[in-house]
Structure 1
């Protein structure tokens, strides 16, 4: 995606705010990648609607705890995106020094940086703009391990940082039981009309445990090198078996395919319903 600063020299600059402080090459710790995409996506949409320049964000964050705990994924995000171009650095610098206005208060002024932060209304704010976000990801994310060919079922089993709940009110961050995933896989096979579909597994849990619990034999394991490439890979599935996470929602938003969701999940709070595509189980 080409820089937009050749189209404007006076802004507005559409600035995703990902952390409290940001010095261009590194920023203070912030949310996970799935949640960081929301202000980035709204800034992309703002640039399309209002003109001006999109400010390429700083993704690398300062992180010590993951190193101290010896975690495999240090979540510093420094190798996820390509570096800024010269024009993008100029846009970033201009956005730091000009007047700032929050996205909800912006009324079409020039010469200002429009700040986009937080989750807002999740995917309700992004409806109808998936092609813009997808094009930016294709241009920006380092693509080691990217899968560009379609396959049958993308299975997202989220375990590691999700809690088990005995008083389920339909919220996010709840771990689904393996019995639900087994039933969802059967429903996905039924939707596709394929007895032995090609399945790619996406999980933060132990792969051997997950495949054993689900009775899977030699599934394809997501080969991505970072979470944004993994979202792209999941978006290539013809049907997604989704967890209660924004990771699954991003893939479904970008891919537009049928998805199977937990029937107790309050999906509408985050994700606009799609008639005939969203299946509850």
Structure 2
């Protein structure tokens, strides 16, 4: 039996993991599922959490000329030599089959159903403490009121909402602009003086949409984690049909406005976040 110190909790973010970079890999929202599961397992079982390599290369976002290339090399501080060695040890243990000394977390699992909310605050603090631009982030968070509204509009690689799958309540489909306008109107009923910040992966948004939303600003965060943590500070998050939106709501303490056709229970247990259907 391995001692607590010898036990390693390894979040596998890509199968093609070369220590200093990874090939392919999902978006940040989906990467956080194995990360959180490894984090909570380390808290429960003891041992050491492996700080994985987040930098990845995937051609899709480049070919689609997306706003975010999703390389994630600028999210966290540089790892120490000891952290890189621990990562290398975890990879070696996995290849050698010494499962008794390694706890591997890989893939989406059952999304938020696998996550223990008891570790929510400490996991968020881990993200903040390891974030590369922590000081700038903290200054920006201080300027966000608990009454403020954030609107997350996903475009990019999301399919149009007119397809049959979009009506089945699954993720990764766009929501019509009119719904966002209605959702902001609902949010303003309880916070009439709130500022509205728009978070989007679109290069530009139509001026008419921005005017209808009453948007005060469009987020200009340097990377996806910065955006997610800023979103989590808002009192109301108007969500897209994405794990990114749900992570922002899960890490925050506000309410989430969710599209009425979105099957939230498929991804998240009841009462994990405060929800308003619209």
CA distance in structure 2 between the partners assigned to 1:274 and 1:23 by the alignment: 39
Flag the 1:217–1:183 CA change in 2: closer, same or farther, 3 A.
Answer: closer
Flag the 1:24–1:271 CA change in 2: closer, same or farther, 3 A.
Answer: same
Q: CA RMSD in A?
A: 2.5
User: What do residues 53-95 of structure 1 show as CA deviations (whole Å, max 9, x unaligned)?
Assistant: 0000111113345445655433222122111113312321321
User: What do residues 82-132 of structure 1 show as CA deviations (whole Å, max 9, x unaligned)?
Assistant: 111133123213212235799xxx8xx4xx121110001111111312112
> 2:171 aligns to what?
172
Query: CA contact under 8 A between 2:67 and 2:203: conserved in structure 1?
Result: no
Flag the 1:69–1:182 CA change in 2: closer, same or farther, 3 A.
Answer: closer
> 2:209 aligns to what?
212
> 1:148 aligns to what?
141
Q: Secondary structure at the match of 2:141?
A: coil
> 1:253 aligns to what?
250
Residue 120 in structure 1 maps to residue 117 in structure 2: no
Which stretch of the first structure deviates more once superposed, 234-243 or 266-275? Answer: 266-275
Q: Secondary structure at the match of 1:215?
A: helix
Which stretch of the first structure deviates more once superposed, 239-248 or 89-98? Answer: 89-98
CA distance in structure 1 between the partners assigned to 2:6 and 2:42 by the alignment: 10
Alignment of 1:180-191 (within 5 A): 180-191=179-190
> 2:21 aligns to what?
26
Flag the 1:240–1:135 CA change in 2: closer, same or farther, 3 A.
Answer: same
User: What do residues 131-155 of structure 1 show as CA deviations (whole Å, max 9, x unaligned)?
Assistant: 1220111012222763312331011
Query: CA contact under 8 A between 1:181 and 1:214: conserved in structure 2?
Result: no
CA distance in structure 2 between the partners assigned to 1:140 and 1:50 by the alignment: 22
Query: CA contact under 8 A between 1:81 and 1:140: conserved in structure 2?
Result: yes
- Of 71, 82, 86, the residue aligned with 1:87 is 82
**Which structure 2 segments of 5+ residues have no match?**
none
Residue 14 in structure 1 maps to residue 9 in structure 2: yes
- Of 51, 55, 63, the residue aligned with 1:60 is 55
> 2:127 aligns to what?
137
Which stretch of the first structure deviates more once superposed, 232-241 or 82-91? Answer: 82-91
TM-score by length of 1: 0.85
Query: CA contact under 8 A between 2:161 and 2:174: conserved in structure 1?
Result: yes
Q: Secondary structure at the match of 1:164?
A: coil
Alignment of 1:268-279 (within 5 A): 268-274=265-271, 277-279=274-276
Which has the larger share of helix?
A: 2
Flag the 1:75–1:275 CA change in 2: closer, same or farther, 3 A.
Answer: closer
